[in-house]
A = this chain, B = another copy of it.
């Protein structure tokens, strides 16, 4: 799974309705251009592709209010919302050692109920343990680990990083269970960026 679809779906969902440049800006605000493949081309491509697949509904072209070419606005469909939550749950659960996907998922985790987020992260910890065991076992040849020579350093690095990932995940679970942040169904959700003239529909 690449992080782009999750990021784009999440960004569009936060606005309710968004055009490409808005998504692009959102992701930049998130710093996503630094840690994911969220270049303009990828974003516009993802929007079009997902519109073709029925995950997004493309509204008629509207002339831009602030200059530049006209915009196409997108909105999540029913299956788009399903896909979004499926991707989000998977990203929180599995350890596929790609931090961009996890980063995106952390950013959107508050769309889930608190207890579910914590549970998915606990599953993530289990996946990490399994992966660690698989690496150490698979790469322990008959003649002892020395036989691998410097190649063993690669496994060493992966194990080290898996341990660090586990430590961080456990910390996050603790913070979540300790009441940090605002999750789904707990009042005013957190919204990163609002566009021109857009109102926070949840503002009191």
A residues contacting B by CB (< 8 A) are: 30-31, 35, 97, 99, 102-103, 106-107, 109-110, 138-139, 149-151, 153-158, 160-161, 163-165, 167-168, 172, 175, 180-182, 190, 192
Contact = CB atoms under 8 A, between A and B. Distances in A.
A158 B99 CA distance: 9
B192 A151 contact: yes
Copies in the complex: 2
A168 B150 contact: no
B164 A110 contact: no
B154 A106 contact: yes
18 contacts: A30-B154, A31-B138, A97-B99, A99-B158, A102-B157, A103-B158, A107-B150, A107-B151, A107-B154, A109-B150, A150-B180, A150-B181, A150-B190, A151-B190, A160-B167, A160-B168, A161-B165, A164-B164
A155 B99 CA distance: 12
Contacts of A168: 156-157, 160-161
Contact of A99 (B106, B149, B161, B175): B161
A110 B110 CA distance: 46
A149 B102 CA distance: 17
A103 B157 contact: yes
Contacts of A150: 106-107, 109-110, 180-181, 190
